[in-house]
Structure formats: structure tokens, C-alpha cells
Amino acid sequence: MIVQLRHMGIRDERVLQAMARVPRERFVREEDREVAYGDHALAIAEGQTISQPYVVARMTELLDIGPEHHVLEVGTGSGYQAAVLAELARDVVSVERHASLAEHARSLLAELGYDNVRVVAGDASVGFAEAAPYDRILVTAASPGISPELDRQLAPDGLIVAPVGDEEMQHLVVRRADGRETRHGAVKFVPLRGRAGFRP
């Protein structure tokens, strides 16, 4: 997988090594373990997905995480992206609206030794103000825009990476604390639901 990601343009060796250390097969359904490292999204419980390795790597690379960073993940899902973030950051807070997914991810991450990840069940679309400010915020579901709630939880020199668009197609957006934004290619995620996301 790592060789393939290099060929696809991922240049940050820290990200590549982090992904090499995380056992992706543990985060997919048992029937999908043989194809866990293929470059495609896979279905998990509650109608959600685990993103393809390239997208995980690209978003993590854009997030530019340092070992001193306090990170918020919006949308835990399987917990795979949280594990990758935990390999690079000081600590990670990950919020998941589906309580069953949050509980499963919390248990699996603890089993794998990721004691620097806190998984919270709640409305992920509005972040988790209790542990703000965050140096980095990663949104892992399609968003209609970056919400004011997330902006308020960002540290003065922080940045947010999110897939922004409609429910059919999005672009990866990097927003800095001063409001500057750059776009980095088209993606397709499941929609972010909640007060600051798409309505059901």
C-alpha cells in the first residue's frame, strides 16, 4: 500500500509510515479483510464507510500534523483515521454521532494501544468545544461548509481540512485560522449530519 501511495503522489514520509503502522484490516468488516488495503472505500456499520487509503493519506498530509498538535476529528466512523492521526499528533479527540460506532471505535483503539485518542459520542458537526482550542481539525464527512462552531474551536495558528460541497460531490478544502482557503481536488464522502451538517 505504501509504495502505491507514493506512486499516487503522497510525499510526506511521516504520513506514509503512520499508515504503515496502523493495521487497516482491524477497522473493516471481517468479510472485507482480504481487500482492506485496496484503494477503495469500504462499507461499515450504520451506513457509513471507511475511506480509501489514498484519501486518508491525502487529507492527513494536508493537515500537516506535528507531534505537539491537539487534533479534533469530526466523524470517527471505524476509528481508522483517528488511529492514523494518533500516530502523528500529541492527542486526538474524535466525535461520532452514532453511539454504536463510537463505542466500537473506542474499544478497538484502546485494544490497539492508542491511549492518546478520546472518542466522544455526540453531534460531530459542531465539534467538541469542551476540549478546544485545536491545532488541527479534520472533517471526515461531506460538509455544506465549514461551520462557525469549528472556526471558533480552532487555535490562532491552526487549520481545518474538510470535504466541502453538496451531498453528491465535494472538494478538499484547507482553511487557515485567518480565513484563507485553498482547494485540493474532488472527493466523495458520506454526508455530515447534525446541526451544522446536512439535514436528513
147 given a catalytic annotation: no
**Beta-carbon neighbour count of residue 93 at 10 Å?**
23
| Active-site residue, from 51, 78, 94, 125 | 51
Cell numbers representing residue 82 in the block: 483517528
How far apart (Å, rounded) are the C-alpha atoms in residues 90 and 76? 18
How far apart (Å, rounded) are the C-alpha atoms in residues 101 and 184? 29
179-187: Cβ within 8 A, 24+ apart:
184/58, 184/62, 185/58, 187/55, 187/163
Eight-class DSSP state of 125 = G
The strand ranges marked E within the chain are: 42-43, 49-50, 70-74, 91-96, 117-121, 134-139, 154-165, 170-176, 181-187
Nearest alpha-carbon partner for 127 in 195, 179, 30: 195
How far apart (Å, rounded) are the C-alpha atoms in residues 175 and 183? 9
The residues annotated with a catalytic role in the active site are: 51
